[in-house]
């Protein structure tokens, strides 16, 4: 099977250990990338510093660095000084860490901003991200003002900035009502910039909202009811390939030692990608259903065979059981 670059999202590698130990665990589990949350970025900025974090990432073999997500990046009455500070920290970190992408969320407030009114701020932020070497990507959520990946793709394409892209999260897409067919038809290939994999149940667990399911019931890829190999093939057909984001959020995953949790997540994701790789390849030859021919080394004509092996007479005679002499 092919080798694949995996990226551990911030929830997949969250833990109580130091960030140095967690970064090491991400690399040791075979991930080539990770995403850093705002909490992580603020902690690093106040302690070790971004230059030291970049050295940690290099030592762990991490080449894909994703930052965010940012909230309230658009002009709105609810935007606070903390939101502005978060934006500054993310852009500073992106420059120091040589980040691949900066992730932003859509508006999850009610009634929510008009996407048309957000386009100018999107273009401005995409330009700022470009100056520090990172791509700006939008992660739509079913409970936001851009609830489907198809709408979000139209927003990114309509805004028109070449440094803007779409993050296609399997859970958000499928729970938002998209199908593999609608993704294939409704997502503009030029907008697709990142993909995240997780699995889920056929229906949202009883008593949970969609947002709660996203936070507590993201199962290991391959452990749920979704056609993730088909999802992988669909986004590949749209032109996406590498790195594959992995987002697992369950109490059981969180309770595991971080090294075990990351190894498990990586192995499960690689199994799904292997299944997607194998689709359409020639079938493996069937196992033989008849005995193989006896080899020339083992075969002797019956009249010369050793009776101790065959249990039959020698030269038409039998031997006495006690003396071994012909009877």
- pLDDT digits 0-9 by tens, 270-303: 999 999 999 877 655 554 444 444 443 343 444 4
Q: What is the DSSP string of 59-90?
A: HHT--EEEEEEEP--S--TT--HHHHHHHHHH
Query: CA-based angle 153:155:159, to the nearest 5?
Result: 120
Structure tokens at 138: 């939008």
**Cα 69 to chain centroid, rounded:** 17
Q: What number of other Cβ atoms are within 10 A of residue 109's Cβ?
A: 13
Q: How far is residue 97's CA from residue 199's CA, in Å, rounded to a whole number?
A: 30
pLDDT at residue 314 is higher than 90: no
The predicted structure's pLDDT at residue 283? 57
pLDDT tens string 193-225: 999 999 999 999 999 999 999 999 999 999 999
* Residue 203 DSSP one-character state: S
Give the whole-number percent of the chain exceeding pLDDT 70. 85
The predicted structure's pLDDT at residue 286? 56
Greatest CA separation for the chain: 111
Query: CA-based angle 13:237:142, to the nearest 5?
Result: 55
Cα distances (Å, whole numbers) of residue 24 to 28, 133, 313: 6, 25, 71
Cα distances (Å, whole numbers) of residue 291 to 284, 294, 298, 302: 19, 9, 15, 19
**Cα 244 to chain centroid, rounded:** 4
Q: How far is residue 243's CA from residue 32's CA, in Å, rounded to a whole number?
A: 8
The predicted structure's pLDDT at residue 321? 40
The predicted structure's pLDDT at residue 309? 43
The model's confidence at residue 3, banded by pLDDT at 50, 70 and 90, is confident
The predicted structure's pLDDT at residue 282? 67
Give the residue ranges of DSSP H helices in 133-257.
149-159, 170-175, 180-186, 210-216, 228-237, 251-255
pLDDT tens string 6-60: 999 999 999 999 999 999 999 999 999 999 999 999 999 999 999 999 999 999 9
Q: Which residues contact 294 (CB under 8 A, 6 or more apart)?
A: none
Which has the higher per-residue pLDDT, 191 or 306?
A: 191
Q: Please state which of the ranges 31-45, 80-94, 140-154, 296-310 shows the lowest mean pLDDT.
A: 296-310
The predicted structure's pLDDT at residue 70? 97
* Residue 169 DSSP one-character state: E
Strand partners, 319: 326
pTM: 0.85
Within the chain, strands assigned E span 6-8, 33-36, 64-70, 101-105, 135-139, 164-169, 192-197, 244-246
For β-strands 192-197 and 33-36, DSSP reports them as: unpaired
pLDDT at residue 313 is higher than 60: no
The predicted structure's pLDDT at residue 186? 98
Residues 195, 240 contacting (CB under 8 angstroms):
yes
The predicted structure's pLDDT at residue 304? 47
What's the sign of the alpha-carbon dihedral 17, 20, 25, 31? positive
Q: What is the DSSP string of 224-245?
A: SSS-HHHHHHHHHHTT--S-EE
Q: How far is residue 273's CA from residue 63's CA, in Å, rounded to a whole number?
A: 20
Q: Which of 258, 247, 253 is nearest to 15 (CA)?
A: 258
Residue carrying the six token digits 């386009």: 119
The predicted structure's pLDDT at residue 1? 53
């Amino acid at each position: 099977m092919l080798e694949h670059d995996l990226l551990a999202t911030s929830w997949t590698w969250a833990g109580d250990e130091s960030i140095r130990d967690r970064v090491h665990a991400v690399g040791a589990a075979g991930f080539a990338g990770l995403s850093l949350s705002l909490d992580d970025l603020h902690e690093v900025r106040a302690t070790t510093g971004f230059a030291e974090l970049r050295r940690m990432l290099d030592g762990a073999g991490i080449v894909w660095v994703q930052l965010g997500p940012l909230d309230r990046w658009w002009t709105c009455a609810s935007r606070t000084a903390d939101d502005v500070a978060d934006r500054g920290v993310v852009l500073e970190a992106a420059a120091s860490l040589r980040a691949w992408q900066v992730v932003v969320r859509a508006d999850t407030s009610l009634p929510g901003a008009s996407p048309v009114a957000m386009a100018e701020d999107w273009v401005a932020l995409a330009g700022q991200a470009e100056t520090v070497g990172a791509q700006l990507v939008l992660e739509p959520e079913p409970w936001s003002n851009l609830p489907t990946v198809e709408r979000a793709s139209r927003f990114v394409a309509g805004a028109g900035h070449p440094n803007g892209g779409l993050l296609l999260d399997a859970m958000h897409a499928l729970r938002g009502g998209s199908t593999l067919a609608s993704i294939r038809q409704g997502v503009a290939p030029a907008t697709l910039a990142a993909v995240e994999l997780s699995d889920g149940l056929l229906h949202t667990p009883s008593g949970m909202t969609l947002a709660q399911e996203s936070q507590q019931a993201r199962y290991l890829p391959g452990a749920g009811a979704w056609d993730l190999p088909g999802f992988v093939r669909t986004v590949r057909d749209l032109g996406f390939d590498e790195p594959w984001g992995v987002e697992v959020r369950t109490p059981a995953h969180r309770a595991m030692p971080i090294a075990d949790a990351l190894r498990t997540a990586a192995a499960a994701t690689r199994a799904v990608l292997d299944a997607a790789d194998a689709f359409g390849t020639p079938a493996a030859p069937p196992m033989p259903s008849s005995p193989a021919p006896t080899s020339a080394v083992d075969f002797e004509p019956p009249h010369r065979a050793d009776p101790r092996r065959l249990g039959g007479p020698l030269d038409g005679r039998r031997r006495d059981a006690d003396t071994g002499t012909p009877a």
